Amino acid sequence: MDSEMCIIRKLQSNDDKILLLHGDTEFQAKLLGIWEQQQCQNDCKFNIHIYNNSSTEIAGRAVMLYVKKNGKMMVACCSGDNGIQPKQMVLPKEIKENKHEALFIMNKLKGTDRYMFESTMYQNRFLGFEPLDNDPNLNKLVLRLKGYDEPDDSCEVILI
């Protein structure tokens, strides 16, 4: 898979929370007012790096998600079968294998403005949002197990 292009968007959950990089250690989603969104431009604008997909095994767009912070690329990476952690890395120009800790398959849900991002490392696991135990106003970014035909709006992402 060769590098193709990059789009920059905010990622929003179904409950209107905006995903951002909290410190350098965790991706969190929270409700942000217009002023707060303007203040967190670097922390909440995600680069969606799209790769040319030559594999017939993968249906959808192969992507990596990252935030630029303090001159570093903080990439959303799988950490275990349900964790997502930011990891500093230089994006590869080409990915030879179909599985990579930071590679997701982006698919648009038919008839909606929503997307789902499936991990290439862990089949049937999708980026999703779960409330933090100590603060119900915050969600953390996780990998959620779900079947293709099972509805799960916590795995749906709106690009704004």
Is the whole-model pTM more than 0.75? yes
And the tokens for 156? 């749906």
CB–CB of 21/43 below 8 Å? yes
- Over residues 128-155, mean pLDDT: 89
Buried (b) or exposed (e) across 96-124, using 16+ Cβ within 10 A?
A: eeeebbbbbbbbeeeeeebbbbbbbbbee
Phi, psi dihedrals of residue 38, rounded to the nearest 5°: -70, -35
User: Alpha helices of 8-100 — where are they, by DSSP H?
Assistant: 34-39, 41-44
Instruction: Domain ranges for the chain, please list them.
Output: 3-159
Nearest to 75 by CA among 116, 41, 46, 115: 46
Q: How confident is the model at residue 57 (pLDDT cuts 50, 70, 90)?
A: low
* Calpha distance 149→146 (Å, rounded): 8
pLDDT in tens, 60-106: 899 999 999 888 999 999 998 789 999 999 999 888 888 999 999 99
Residues contacting residue 6 through CB under 8 Å, at least 6 positions apart: 47, 48, 49, 50
For domain 3-159, is the CATH number 2.80.10.50? yes
